[in-house]
Chain A
Amino acid sequence: MRRAGRPSSTLWLKSVVPTADLRSPIPRSYYRGTLGWLDLSTFPMKTLLRGLSVGLALAFCSPSAVRGIDRTPARVSGDVLLSTMQRELQRAQTNLGQLNPAPYFTSYSVYDEEGTVVVAGLGSLLNSTQFHRRMGEVTMRVGSAALDNTHQESRPSGMSSGLVPLQDDPDAAARVLWQLTYQEYRQAAQTYLNVKTAAAVRTQEEDTSADFAEAKPEVHLDYAMPAFHLDRKVWEDRVRRYSSNFRKYPEIYSSAVMVIGQKTQMRFVSTAGAQLATPGTLIRLMIEAETRADDGMELLRVETFQADTPDGLPSEAEIAARIDKMASDLKALRAAPTAEPFDGPALLSGRAAAVFFHEVLGHRLEGHRQRGDQEGQTFTKKINQQVLPQFLSVIDDPTQRSLNGMDLGGWYRYDDEGVRAQRVDVIKDGILRNFLMSRMPITGFAQSNGHGRAQAGLMATGRQGNLIVSSTHTAKDSEMRQKLIDEIKKQGKPYGLYFEDIEGGFTLTTRSLPQSFQILPVLVWKVYPDGRPDELVRGVDIVGTPLAALNRIEITGEKTEVFNGVCGAESGSVPVSAAAPAMLFSEMEVQKRAHSRVRPPILPPPTWDKSAAVGLRPSDFGHLASGSSIGGQQ
């Protein structure tokens, strides 16, 4: 099988659940944080940093990169901030507890995030920012666990958030927490009254579960932040150098290289007695390149590398080689024919299968999707039923740091609701056993299993961590291509498809829209049964409905591949991993991708314009003349 088993497979997942836009421009929060005065609401930052946006969202908004580190805990003595949080929480409980209605649960979280973001394009710096912030959250539940202010669509009323002082100033921190607390109380108490009335007025909901699950109050204080320093100046130069590799490729219109290094110290205290402090780090290097085919189709390649420390990132030579590969892929894609709608056998590489499972299965296993009035609830009533072929099992295990030597991005020790991360056997031998649970109970599942995740400022919901698919019906990876050809022949199809790489995808889980998903592959090959060489095609989207698609898996490869990414949903962006072996599908439906019809640039790139002075026509530039749309007539 060609190009199977790539050594390092990282990209990001772009999931939109239920209906948001996958390709949102740079999150406004990023610019609010840095350049509050820039009104970017109409900012047409088209392509250059589109992909990077996800990473920026992570850097600036996501506390969920918080992971415990396996080291001896440092001495706890004198965590001024934690003791201030504890003291202020105590005061809030004492004072607000006397009111009617009173909160029955309150927690404070503070995410101390420190880091650097450096972005460059074509050898020149585009942005270089060092940031440090402490984001404080007050979570409050008024009423009772059976019915509280966070019920159903009122969930956002459970949290107020704001910045807390960067230094350990107990008076200032206490004041800020006090302000957030009484504001949150007003919001929560008001919402609770509305919720109570609505519960009395409306018909009974399908799922009558309580609104909040009991959880063991964990006490775990860990301040052992890995000692690394992401030297900004060093990385500025490095990212400049990396990005200048793209200067060699006139057919790449836009490109960027970004590195983010972040340390997050999370602190959490609750009125139930939990007391947590966990350190975490995240280093991420992203490379994006984009071009346009002559028919206007935008073609994008993205590579992501993730590690716990800067040393874990690949060498310069490795990155240069990867950039060369991205450029040659894009060049090949520009010249590739567009695919036709197709329904037939398909082989997905391990990382393609991993994204497929994240989108098609993973999101539908998130606990809170089993009870919303708006949710499609594909799997809600399928507990203990066969939902996958018997040879497949799926776990989500945030406690696992690596798999086959590859770091897993969805690793953490405690979730954002203070619950210890757990391995969950969601599907065992094809049978659905469990869901990914936050502290929002659903019928039959009253407890959290440590999957309540969110970015700072948003209420946690059940989310994926490390979703790992395993198989007992396997063939050697080298034989998978032959299996595909056999299947093509068996079905009498003219060809099958091999999905080598996937850019991301999204899925709709609401009732008001068709239950469907769309996966956006970037490298797709037509595989012919008659020995002709594989043919690269572009403009393919995998489409379909979840249950049907999942049951057409015939056999898998042996080697599990890992896809590290950032996943976006209601509770914000969180880092995740998905891992799966290559998979052969007896039937896969693809459709033509809708694409822009904007022509490629009229003039050649400036550095490739040999006419520097005046007079020459753009059509004099052979390297772009393969495109037929250059119309330099004057």
Chain B
Amino acid sequence: MIRSRYRLALLTTVLLATVSGLVAQNSASADDPVLRAMLAEMQRSKSQLKLADVQAPYYLDYRLMDVDLYMAEAAFGAVRTSLRTRVRMLRIVVRVGDYKQDSYYGPGEGVVDVGPLDDDETGLRHQLWLGTDRAYKAASEALTAKQSELKKYSVDQQVDDFAHASPVQWVTPLTRLDFFPEPWLATLEEASGLYKSDPQVQSLNASLRFSVTNRYFVNSEGAVVRTADSSYQVFIGGYTQAADGMRLDRSHGYQVRQMKDLPTKTQVLSRTRELLTSLKELREAPVSEEEYRGPVLLSADAAAGVMSELVGPNLLGNRPMLGQNARTTGDWANNYKSRVLPDFLSVLDDPTLSTFGGHSLLGNYEVDDEGVKASRVSLIEKGQLVSYLLSRAPIRDFPNSNGHGRASVTGPPTSSLGNLIVQSSDALSDDELKKKLVDACKQRNLPYGYFVGTLGPRLTPRLLYRISTKDGHEELVRGAVFGDLDTRALRNNVVAAGKEFDSEDRLDPIPQSVVSPALLFDELEVKRGDVAKQKLPEYPPPAGTE
């Protein structure tokens, strides 16, 4: 795995703890003009930046993300976009005040600018200089604005504005984006050209996005971090319309951290053929009945989607709006130490893992975007919520970061998922789960139960099967949505979980994976979606030249 290789090749040496000595004395940073410029300007700002009659900053940080990106897209067998670009984005935060109360508020949350692409200290220091100046002035005004805003509220329990953290020095080798686009363009064209096998497919696209990001971070507390990550995505998507006009979508994404983990052309093509077949099957499938209430089995794939949507966001330790007394902004702000899932389920987040159960994980990192070392956090133990994912913005009862402050290319660091893993203490095999589904349906005299193969956006089933109670026969249906799939259902209605895992992987805006086993619900509502059906195209597609 790319990450473990870094760990072996780690260049990090002990950087001098005193910031004043950092500039020239560390070999790793001394070799890197970007770090050198950041440290030099940090040093200058830290020691000299002050307006008369205004407090000097108590904290500063500089972040630079160097992104090298290649994107391509093909539709109907021909490339429409092929673009390589590189950008360096700077983010500068200056905090005035102290850890208890500071200027991180509104315009005081930092400034963003474009950085020079060349490893040129003069240019970079110049941008840092301007940005720091701007950020400091904004911070000074923001602190006053925040203090006057806070006067409007009475706050029950004072929570610090910024967590203390020990400065990490962590410098790993740089990464490059290195590949030949032509074979990939050919793959995209060939895959998207498969639409010709089915005249009723209205759209078929194949796209890719390869990117490499070298991240630099220094702060006034002495953190010096340089890490690199790469991500490779290949995506296929298409849609068709059933005879009644219902739009049917299928897509598949490959998202990996190393180029060698990408699928071969043959794999992409066969996957595309499968998508086309399933579009055809969906087109011919019956529409689901108006309403069903009963047992539903979610595949590990579908369950990972549900966990990502319903559990992940509620585990983030995001601070509420200024003056509000809640612990976080999520649904589980007040559920600390209460039961949020059935007691056979536990959830943890571990950014230090690069694989789990054979799945390559995207949320793997050593140091977060606030310069805090990543750590494994147990979040839900036997169904009970015991912790949140935390950045350096403390929340009630949680004064310290647990290394989950992560950021998009230009955004502020916020508490984010890394690798969220859902595990069951009482795992069943797929066959056992299916049998349990059928048994539950029999008990309630239902002719069939539902099995969800995969989900689309907004937790809408894309592959949904009726499982006959009588003989276990599977029948694909279309047009259904869930009526009441929410956190309450997760807590009260999940009755069993599987042994096998699947993952929901996201690269945007922050790479993360959510791993879950299959889940059996004893009751869920599945109903017919009431989306307006579009008309079929007014006239047939072009015949094509072949």
Question: Residues of A with Cβ closer than 8 Å to B?
Answer: 33-40, 43-46, 48-49, 87-88, 91-92, 95-96, 99, 121-134, 163-167, 169-176, 178-179, 182, 185-186, 240, 247, 253-254, 598-599, 601-603, 605-607, 609, 611-612, 614-618, 631-634
On whether the beta carbons of A602 and B114 are closer than 8 Å, the reply is: no
Check if B118 sits within 8 Å of A633, measured CB to CB. no
Task: Give the distance to chain A from B225, nearest Cβ to Cβ, in Å.
Answer: 22
Expressed in whole angstroms, the minimum distance between the Cβ of B126 and any Cβ of chain A is 6
Binds A, one of B129-137, B283-291, B459-467, B494-502: B129-137
Chain A contacts for B75, CB-based, 8 A: 165, 172, 175-176
B41 at the interface (CB under 8 A from A): yes
* A to B CB contacts below 8 Å, 13 in the list: A34-B83, A34-B85, A37-B509, A43-B410, A44-B112, A127-B117, A128-B86, A129-B83, A163-B81, A164-B80, A166-B81, A607-B122, A616-B48
Instruction: Specify which of B76, B133, B411 is in contact with A601 (CB 8 Å cutoff).
Output: B133
Residues of B within 8 A of A166 (CB): 78-82
Instruction: Choose one: A163, A175, A612; the contact of B541 (CB below 8 Å).
Output: A175
Assess whether B226 is interfacial by the CB under 8 Å rule: no
A-B contact count (CB 8 A): 200
Q: Is the CB of B542 within 8 A of A88?
A: yes
Candidates A123, A129, A632; contact of B123 at CB < 8 Å: A123
Give the B interface residue count (CB, 8 A): 76
- Specify the chain B residue showing the minimal Cβ separation from A177: B542
* Contact status of A126 and B117, CB under 8 A, knowing A95-B538, A171-B77, A634-B56: yes
Which residues does chain B contribute within 8 Å of A46, judged by CB atoms?
111, 113, 134
B425 on interface, CB distance cutoff 8 Å: no
Interface flag for B338 (CB, 8 Å):
no
Q: B87 at interface (Cβ–Cβ under 8 A)? A: yes
Q: Chain A residues near B126: list those with CB within 8 A.
A: 121-122, 605-607
Contact B83–A33 (Cβ < 8 Å): yes
Chain B, residue nearest A94 (CB): B539
How far, in angstroms, from A415 to B126 measured CA to CA in the complex? 44
Of B48, B81, B209, most A-chain CB atoms within 10 Å: B48
- Whether B120 contacts A124 by the Cβ 8 Å rule is yes
Give CA–CA (A436, B113) in the complex, Å.
41
CA distance A481 to B68 in the complex (A): 55
Give the interface centre of A33, A172, A631, A634 by most chain B CB atoms within 10 Å: A172
Cα–Cα distance between A164 and B81 once the two chains are bound (Å): 9
Is B125 an interface position by the 8 A CB rule? yes
A171's partner among B86, B125, B544 (CB-CB below 8 A) is B544
**B386 in contact (CB, < 8 A):** no
Known contacts A35-B85, A166-B78, A602-B133; A179/B203 CB under 8 A = yes
Beyond A125-B116, A614-B43, whether A37 also contacts B409 by CB under 8 A is: yes
Minimum Cβ distance to chain B for residue A563 (Å): 29
A38-B410, A166-B80, A605-B129 known, 8 other contacts, Cβ within 8 Å: A34-B83, A39-B410, A45-B112, A175-B75, A178-B537, A179-B203, A254-B130, A633-B52
8 A Cβ contacts from B42-69 to A: 43-45, 47-53, 56, 67, 69
Selected contact of A602 from candidates B49, B74, B535, CB within 8 Å:
B49
Chain A residues with CB under 8 Å of B71's CB are: 36
Give Cα A283–Cα B228 distance, bound, in whole angstroms: 37
**B6 → chain A, closest Cβ, in Å?**
24
Q: Which residue of A lies closest to B54 (CB)?
A: A631
User: Are A39 and B509 also in contact (CB < 8 A) when A123-B123, A166-B80, A254-B130 are?
Assistant: yes
Which residues of the partner chain A approach B136 to less than 8 Å between Cβ atoms?
602
The distance from the CB of B31 to the nearest CB of chain A, in whole angstroms, is 19
B123 x A598 contact (CB < 8 A): no
A252 to B509, CA, bound (A): 35
Q: Is the CB of B542 within 8 A of A40?
A: no
Taken together as a complex, chains A and B put the C-alpha atoms of A98 and B43 apart, in Å, by: 74
Q: How far is it, in angstroms, between the C-alpha of A378 and the C-alpha of B542 when the chains are bound?
A: 49
Q: How far is the CA of A33 from the CA of B73 in the complex (A)?
A: 12
Known: A40-B410, A253-B130, A606-B126. A174 touches B538 (CB 8 A): no
Chain A hits for B122, CB < 8 A: 122-124, 247, 606-607
Q: Which residue of A lies closest to B507 (CB)?
A: A37
Cβ of B127: which chain A residues have Cβ within 8 Å of it? 121
Residues from chain A with Cβ under 8 Å of B87 in the complex: 34-35, 38, 127
Q: How far is the CA of A535 from the CA of B117 in the complex (A)?
A: 41
| Contact of A45 with B113 at beta-carbon distance under 8 Å, contacts A124-B124, A171-B76, A176-B75 already known | yes
The minimal Cβ–Cβ distance linking A178 to chain B, given in whole angstroms, is 6
Query: Which residue from B20, B86, B120 sits with its C-beta under 8 Å from A123?
Result: B120
Inside 8 A of B545's CB, which chain A residues have their CB? 170-171
B40 at the interface (CB under 8 A from A): yes
User: Which residues of chain B have C-beta atoms less than 8 A from A253's C-beta?
Assistant: 130
- Report yes or no: B48 in contact with A618, Cβ–Cβ below 8 A: yes
A263 to chain B, nearest CB (A): 17
Asked if B176 lies at the interface with its beta carbon under 8 angstroms from chain A, I say no
**Docked pose: A179 CA to B129 CA in angstroms:** 50
Tell me whether A185 and B129 are in contact in the complex, defined as CB-CB below 8 angstroms, given that A38-B409, A171-B76 are known contacts: no
Cα of A369 to Cα of B234 in the assembled complex, Å? 48
Q: Which 3 residue pairs of A and B lie closest in terms of their CB atoms, listed nearest first? A: A124-B123, A165-B78, A124-B116
B408 touches A (CB below 8 Å): yes
CA distance A124 to B124 in the complex (A): 9
Please give, as numbers and ranges, the residues of chain A lying within 8 Å of B202 by CB-CB distance.
179
Bound complex: CA A109 to CA B211 (Å): 33
Q: A124-B118, A124-B124, A617-B48 are in contact. Are A173 and B78 (CB under 8 A)?
A: yes
Interface string of B198-238 (1 = CB under 8 A from A): 00001100000100000000000000000000000000000
Please measure, in the bound complex, the distance between the C-alpha atom of A176 and the C-alpha atom of B535, giving whole angstroms.
18
Whether B397 sits at the interface, judged by CB under 8 Å, is no
**A601 CA / B79 CA spacing, docked (Å):** 48
Closest chain A residue to B73, Cβ basis = A163
Please judge, given known A-B contacts A122-B123, A125-B116, whether A603 and B85 are in contact too, CB under 8 Å: no
Residues of B within 8 A of A174 (CB): 542, 544
Task: Say if the beta carbon of B156 comes within 8 Å of chain A.
Answer: no
Given A34-B83, A45-B112, A92-B539: A603 in contact with B48 (beta carbons within 8 A): yes
B132: shortest Cβ distance to chain A, in Å?
8
Judge if B533 is at the interface, Cβ distance under 8 Å. no
Bound Cα distance A179, B85 (Å): 29
Within B162-210, the residues touching A (CB, 8 Å) are 193, 195-196, 202-203, 209
Could you tell me if A99 and B538 are in contact, using CB atoms closer than 8 angstroms?
A: yes
Does B470 sit at the interface, judged by CB under 8 A?
no
Name the distance in Å between A145's Cβ and chain B's nearest Cβ: 22
> Roughly how many angstroms separate A32 CA and B231 CA in the complex, as a whole number?
19
In the complex, chain B residues 492-541 whose Cβ is within 8 Å of any chain A Cβ: 508-509, 535, 537-539, 541
Instruction: Write out the residue numbers on chain B whose beta carbons fall within 8 Å of the beta carbon of A39.
Output: 408, 410-411, 509
Q: Which residues of B contact A121 (CB under 8 A)?
A: 116, 123, 126-127
Residues of A within 8 A of B209 (CB): 37
A631 touches B129 (CB 8 A): no
CA distance A569 to B224 in the complex (A): 47
CA distance A606 to B118 in the complex (A): 17
> Within 8 Å CB of A605, what residues of B?
126, 129
Take A48-B114, A603-B49, A631-B51 as given contacts and tell me if A176 and B76 are in contact as well, using a CB distance cutoff of 8 Å.
yes
Measured between beta carbons, the chain B residues less than 8 angstroms from A34 are 83, 85, 87
Q: Is the C-beta of B252 less than 8 angstroms from some C-beta in chain A?
A: no
Do A175 and B410 have beta carbons less than 8 Å apart? no
Given contacts A123-B123, A124-B116, A618-B48, contact A96 B539 (CB under 8 A): yes
Complex: how many Å from CA A617 to CA B49? 10
Interfacial chain B residues near A254, Cβ < 8 Å: 130
Residue of A whose beta carbon sits closest to that of B540: A95
User: In the bound complex, what is the Cα–Cα distance between A380 and B202 (angstroms)?
Assistant: 48
Is B50's CB under 8 angstroms from A602's CB?
A: yes
Assess the B137–A599 pair: CB atoms within 8 A. Answer: yes
A397 to B71, CA, bound (A): 41
- How many angstroms between the C-alpha atoms of A609 and B20 in the bound complex? 17
Asked if A163 meets B56 with Cβ closer than 8 Å, knowing A124-B117, A126-B117, A606-B129, the reply is no
Chain A positions within 8 Å of B435 at CB level: none
